[in-house]
Copies of this chain bind each other. A is one copy, B any other.
Amino acid sequence: MTERTSRFPVLRACLLSLAFTSATPSFAAAAGAVQAAGVVDFRLENGMEVVVIPDRRAPIVTHMVWYKVGSADEPPGKSGIAHFFEHLMFKGTNNHPPGEFGQKVAEIGGSENAFTSFDYTAYYQTVPPEALATMMAYEADRMRNLVLSDDVIGPERDVILEERRMRIENSPDALLDEEVAATLYQNHPYRVPVIGWMHEMEQLNRIDATAFYDRFYAPNNAILVVAGDVDPLEVRTLAETTYGALAAGPALPSRARPQEPEQNTKRTVELADPRVTVPSFQSYWIVPSYTTARDGEAEALDLLSEILGGGLRSRLYKKLVVDKGIASSAGATYSGTSLDETSFSVYGVPRGDATLEDVEKAVVEEIAALVRDGVPVAELEKAKTRFLRSVIFARDSQAGMANIYGSTLATGGTVADIAEWPDRIRSVTPAQVRAVAAKYLDLRRSVTGYLLPQPATGN
């Protein structure tokens, strides 16, 4: 996985151990390069989508179920229910007591985890291939037979509140990130944190949980992704026996979230705290995602992010960190895998005698220079090569491949999109890169977060 997630370590830890969020790089396609050779996708009668990614190189299989529901689908006032539900799925069913599933995975030498993001919630295990049927049975069981009593709900709610205290309330980084999101998105539920607002988490109850479960946890709202040492036909048979035995759930509500209005202002969000030792800034813009973009703008934004700030060869790194030595880090991010509009950002951390203003000014100048002068073909081609190569490496990881398919399908993409993505990247022109920079990176319509060491003066 390339280093394009939010540079705030606490938020990343939260996001990664909890969730692959839409902040992770557009996975949309590591496999593309090797190609969807052998990838098989079909749908069960009850509506469940299935993708099988054969990969015989090692005798393991990654089994994932993705539900097309995330924090952005939560009812207003009930933030945190999607993530809460991720916890509740481990509390046992009518058929299997809490912990039995996890114990089984451990016994066979496998591993398991789950994560919640804005647009999806996923559960997965990595196990020997012969255990696949068992994994499916357990996963299909908890899709519909979870025990949701007050005995279960109450204590687990305390667990998520404690998780929020640990990860967010005690972290100036994370608190700032939350308020940046709430400022960047003026209408869309992406402005609400995945873990939820504390005061709303405190109120989540059994009725909320049951309603959520019955509405969203059904085979017609799920995507099964199986990657590894498997035969697609066998997977199909197994899937039909386990998941296929479940009845389709009720017709799903549309995933039409409230969208962003046109924005017209430059906003800043500042948090000063004695625990912050080095100041930093990050500027954000709302941009199209792979799902909402037209005319190749998402691919152009991915390459803009690579060129501007994707790594050691990027303009920001070379100019600010290497040449001028004013920043200890500087880069750009683009969170392309998202059902709705998403964000593009640039960031910087000063080094030595340089001030935060110096670094911010230099970043702004780099963007202006790119908009003014464009990108030479040679630089763009090198960026494409680097970018494709780094994403292709993800295919060597079963989990990486499964994630690409799962996250793409859960956010409105298709298997064909994954296959075509590398060619779309290759066909991006310098003019397109310059155009998206000019069109979207307008500071007059941006939000910049500042994390500062001293408490602000004033008052």
Contacts and interface: CB of A to CB of B under 8 A. Distances in A.
A268 B265 CA distance: 10
B444 A272 contact: yes
Contact of A267 (B262, B267, B455): B267
Contacts of A176: 264-265
Report the copy number of this chain in the oligomer: 2
Interface in A9-66: none
B364 A459 contact: yes
Of the listed residues A186, A200, A455, the one surrounded by the most CB atoms of chain B closer than 10 A to its CB is A186
Contacts of A189: 76
A360 to B, nearest CB: 10
Nearest to A360: B458
A263 interface: yes
A188 B267 CA distance: 19
B265 A269 contact: yes
A324 interface: no
Nearest to A197: B261
Interface stretch (A251-259, A293-301, A315-323, A387-395): A251-259
Nearest to A184: B183
Contact of A76 (B182, B258, B261, B262): B258
A231 interface: no
A215 interface: no
A6 to B, nearest CB: 17
A371 B459 contact: yes
A77 interface: yes
A66 B452 CA distance: 48
A268 B443 CA distance: 13
Contacts of A367: 459
